Amino acid sequence: KKGVRSRIMRDIMIVFRKEMKEWLHAKGGLASIVFNLLIYMGMFGVVLPLAQVEIWKVPSQLLVFYFFFLPSLIASTTTADAFAGERERKTLETLLSTRLSDRAIFLGKLAAVFVYTATMLFAVDLTVLTVVNIADGSPHFFMFPGETLFMLGPLAWIVTLFVANLGLFISLKVQSARIAQQIGSFGSLLISLPVLFGVVELSMSWKNLLMVGTVLLVAVAVSTAASIALFQRQKLIQ
């Protein structure tokens, strides 16, 4: 069993490194990644925090922008290219013809999307913390409340995994990366809007946050297992 697990982990890392190299060597490559990061940091790290400094001092439902909408946006746009993009570039058949298992391919792509999204989120969160401290003008260093840290960290990561799962599954089923990207982005916005505009009231208490986190964690486990089970290699090769 130990040998099987180590082989699966090795295969997952092969796919993970492949994804990272493709992103870096694609058209635009690193420059495109840095440009996107600067856009996210500028909008979500500078503009929005300066407009709403107070929401960082007391947990607010407006933070859904940061623990749901932003992770969903980044993850869904990244997963769109995972399978649909490879299909367009005619490289999907080559990948599926290797000895790599379905599980390794799916989990390797999932890990790559997670690391990419989590890195972007971390950079945005650091920017927010810096901007809020500067805007606050206090001689004392300000740190986010525990609930906010949980939303920006573990909760945002769980949301990333859940959305990445759905995004990868969509990317498997559609023919175009653009269509997969549009479905993911529109879906994220559609779910976020009721909360952002107060149609749905959320209490950002520890009890509610932990409950939401637990439910999403179960959803991640179920969706991952379902996506791997529905990964039909032969149909994709045809």
Query: Where along the chain do its domains lie?
Result: 2-237
d(CA 67, CA 85): 27
Question: DSSP state, 117?
Answer: H
Using alpha carbons, select from 74, 37, 44, 66 the residue that is nearest to residue 163. 74
| Radius of gyration over every alpha carbon of the chain, rounded to an integer in angstroms | 19
Largest Cα–Cα distance in the chain? 64
pLDDT-based confidence at residue 214 (cuts at 50, 70, 90) = very high
d(CA 47, CA 66): 13
d(CA 175, CA 224): 21
**What is the number of other CB atoms lying within 10 angstroms of the CB of residue 236?**
17
Residue-wise pLDDT tens digits, 159-188? 999 999 988 888 887 777 778 778 877 777
**Do 180 and 171 touch, CB atoms closer than 8 A?**
yes
Q: For the chain, what percent of residues have pLDDT higher than 90? A: 44
Using alpha carbons, select from 28, 125, 26 the residue that is nearest to residue 74. 125
d(CA 120, CA 199): 29
pLDDT for residue 23: 83
d(CA 66, CA 125): 9
Mean pLDDT, range 47-52, rounded to an integer: 92
pLDDT for residue 111: 95
Residue-wise pLDDT tens digits, 138-162? 889 999 999 999 999 999 999 999 9
